[in-house]
Amino acid sequence: MACRSWKQWFCSHNLHRILMSKRQKLRNPFAEKVFYVNPSYKTSLETSISSASGKIKDTLESMRDIPSAYWLDNKGKIKGGSTNTMEGILEDAANKPVPELVLFIVYDLPNRDCHAKASNGEICCSYKSDGRCDYTDVSDKFCSAGLKEYEEEYIDQIAEVLRKYSGRVPVVLVIEPDSLPNLSTNQGDPRCGNSATKSAYEEGVSYAVKALATADPYAAIYLDAGHGGWLGWKDNMKDFVKTIKGLKVSSHIRGFASNVAGYQHVGEICDTYDFCLGGNNNDHPCCADPCDLIGQWNPSNNELNYALHLRKAMSEGIQGFMPHMIIDTGRNGAAGMRSECKNWCNIRGAGVGHVATIATANPEVVDAYFWLKTPGESDGCTQVLPDGSSCPRFDTDCASVDSIGSRNDEPRAPEAGQWFDFQIKQLAENARLQ
C-alpha cells in the first residue's frame, strides 16, 4: 500500500505496516480469496493430457484449474514479464477481476538441501571446481559470501517485487522447505552440521522473513516444518521449537507449512495430539497409521495430528505464539504406498490429494490444504537421465525400491523440478481430490 493523502503521517511513521502485520495474523489469509492458477502449470499439464486417455485424462483435465504454488527456486524466476516469473505472475493476478491470492515458495538458500543431493541449489558457501557446492568446506566459516549473494541477489529482489504489489495482490510465502528441519535433526550429517551451512540457514531464513514481512506487511509467511514422520517425535519437536525460538521471527509469521513435497497422509484429526500413543485407541480412525509411527512412539501419525502437536509445542515454548498451518496435499491422496516411509523420491503409486481449500478438518489450526509441491514435477533424478546421460544431482534415495525409475520397466526420472510425464499420470490415476 502506497503512502498517500490524509494517511501520510500515519504512513510516514510506518504505523500502517505495524498495524497491518498484526491484523493479518488474526485471520486466515486464504479466507474469502480466489486462488491464482498458474498458466505455466496448465501448460505442463497439457503436454501430458495430449497423450493420456480415459480416467487419467479426465483427471488431468480437471487439474488444469486447481491452484498450486509457484517455486522461486532460482534467481532467474523473480523479475520479468512472463508468468514464468514472480513479477509476471503478480501482474497477471493483479489484473484479474478480483486480484487473486498467489502462493510462492522461497527456495534458494546457500548450501540448499544439505541432507540430499537432488535439489542442491545455485548458491554455495564454497564451490567445487565443477561449480557445485562443496558442502563440507568451511573456509568461509559463516558463509558470508553466500549469504551476501542470497540476501542481495535473491531476497532483496523478491522484496522489491513484493513492495510493488503490496496491498494489491494477496500473497502467501512459504520459506525454504527442509532447511530448519535439517538444522534440527541432521546436525550429525557433516554437510548440514558445519558452521557454514548452519549460519547460511539460520541467518538466511531470519533475513528472508524479516525483509519479506517488511516489504509486504500484508503477506502471510509460513516457515517449513518438515512433516509428522520427521519432526513428529516429541524430542524432535523440542529441538525444532528451540531452532525456531532462536531465530526470533515468530512475531512475523502466520505459522508453518507441513508435508511440503512430502507423502504423509492428511488422515483424520484426533481430539488431542497424542490420543493414539500407548496403543489404547488403535481402532479409532484418527489413529490410522500407514507409516507405523505410533508404534515408534511418534504421536504424529497423520498431518492433522502433527499440526496439533506443533501448535501445542510452539505455543508452550514461545510466549504469545499460536501458529497456523498449511498442509501440502499435492501428492498425499493415496496412503500406504511405500514399503518404507523414509522414502521421499518420486514415490510409486502416489496420488494427488485434496484440492486447495480452507475447509480443513480444524480451521482453528489448519488454514488451508494446498498443492505446494507442484504435482508432476520430479523430486529428483535417477542415476541415468531420460536422455541417457548421467545425472549430476543423483541422490541414492531416488533409487529406493519405492521410487519410480528403480524398476526396469519404468522410465528414468528427470532432475528435480522437471516435468515427469509418467509420474503425473500415476498421480492422476490414484487421485483423491476431495
Residues that bind ligand BGC (CB under 6 A): 71, 73, 119, 261, 373-374, 377, 379, 416-417
Count CB atoms within 10 A of the CB of residue 145. Answer: 16
Across the beta sheet with 70-72, the strand order is: 70-72, 102-106, 171-175, 220-224, 255-258, 324-328, 366-370
Q: Which is nearer to ligand BGC, 24 or 264 (CB)?
A: 264
For the record, the C-alpha cell of 137 comes out as 568446506
Distance CA 200, CA 67 (A): 31
- Give me the DSSP letters along 7-24: GHHHHHTTHHHHHHHHHH
Distance CA 313, CA 238 (A): 7
- Residue 38 beta carbon to ligand BGC: minimum distance, rounded to whole angstroms: 12
Output the CA angle 281-323-368, nearest 5 degrees: 75
- Residue 196 beta carbon to ligand BGC: minimum distance, rounded to whole angstroms: 21
- Residue 379 beta carbon to ligand BGC: minimum distance, rounded to whole angstroms: 6
Ramachandran angles phi, psi of 332, nearest 5° = -115, 30
Q: Which is nearer to ligand BGC, 303 or 379 (CB)?
A: 379
- Residue 352 beta carbon to ligand BGC: minimum distance, rounded to whole angstroms: 13
Residue 349, sorted as left (phi over 0), alpha (psi -120 to 50) or beta, turns out to be: left
Count CB atoms within 10 A of the CB of residue 329. Answer: 27
- Residue 408 beta carbon to ligand BGC: minimum distance, rounded to whole angstroms: 25
Distance CA 94, CA 387 (A): 40
Q: Which is nearer to ligand BGC, 311 or 348 (CB)?
A: 348
Contact between residue 371 and residue 174 where contact means Cβ atoms under 8 Å apart: no
Residue 255, sorted as left (phi over 0), alpha (psi -120 to 50) or beta, turns out to be: left
Contacts of 239 (CB under 8 A, 6+ apart): 184, 185
- Residue 136 beta carbon to ligand BGC: minimum distance, rounded to whole angstroms: 21
For the record, the C-alpha cell of 83 comes out as 508468468
Q: Which is nearer to ligand BGC, 161 or 294 (CB)?
A: 161
Q: Which residue is nearest to ligand BGC (CB)?
A: 417
- Residue 383 beta carbon to ligand BGC: minimum distance, rounded to whole angstroms: 17
Contact between residue 405 and residue 394 where contact means Cβ atoms under 8 Å apart: no
Q: Which is nearer to ligand BGC, 122 or 203 (CB)?
A: 122
Strand partners, 357: 369
Indicate the DSSP class of residue 328: E
For the record, the C-alpha cell of 143 comes out as 558463509
- Residue 164 beta carbon to ligand BGC: minimum distance, rounded to whole angstroms: 23
Question: Catalytic residue positions?
Answer: 113, 178, 379
For the record, the C-alpha cell of 338 comes out as 511405500
Distance CA 39, CA 212 (A): 25
Q: Which is nearer to ligand BGC, 107 or 369 (CB)?
A: 107
Q: Which is nearer to ligand BGC, 157 or 281 (CB)?
A: 157
- Collapsing DSSP to helix, strand or coil, 190 comes out as helix
Q: Which is nearer to ligand BGC, 305 or 406 (CB)?
A: 406
